[in-house]
């Protein structure tokens, strides 16, 4: 099992560019989410999905879009990159959205916006 796979691992963008961070899981998990990690701030929830076709905003959704057309994939789109979006991005999945199952995390995408 690959678990949660994120691509790319590293990316440098110019201000104003758009891009999509890919996330795929092969565990048939209902719940998927995106976090950003910034120094001294822990992980903050960007968007999440409790199942295919259902998405919702987290704590810091501005500047990001998501969609969930399949159970496996949950891409994160930066519409117009800004330096404030320089961060490490983690995708996570969980078997079902209720209960206390731990989330499984991908290895992260380190994104720099110049």
Q: Whole-angstrom Cα distance, residue 109 to residue 50?
A: 22
* Min separation Cβ 43 and another protein, Å: 4
Which residue stretch of 19-27, 33-41, 62-70, 73-81 sits at the interface with another protein (rule: CB under 8 A)? Answer: 33-41
The tokens for 14 are 């110019």
* Helix (H/G/I), strand (E/B), else coil: 34: strand
Site string (72-91) toward another protein, x via CB under 8 A: ----------------x-x-
What is the helix (H) or strand (E) element at residue 37, kind and residue range?
strand 31-37
Distance of CA 67 to the CA centre of its chain: 11
Residues that bind another protein (CB under 8 A): 31, 33, 35, 40-45, 48, 50, 58-59, 88, 90, 92, 94, 97-100, 102-105, 107-108
């Amino acid at each position: 099992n690959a678990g949660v796979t994120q691509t790319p691992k590293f990316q440098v963008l110019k201000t104003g560019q758009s891009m999509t961070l890919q996330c795929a899981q092969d565990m048939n998990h209902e719940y998927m989410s995106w976090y950003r990690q910034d120094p001294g701030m822990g992980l903050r929830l960007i968007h999440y999905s409790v199942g295919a076709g259902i998405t919702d905003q987290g704590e810091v959704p501005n500047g990001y879009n998501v969609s969930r057309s399949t159970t496996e994939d949950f891409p994160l789109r930066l519409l117009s990159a800004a330096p404030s979006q320089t961060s490490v991005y983690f995708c996570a999945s969980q078997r079902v959205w209720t209960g206390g199952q731990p989330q499984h995390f991908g290895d992260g995408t380190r994104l720099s916006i110049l």
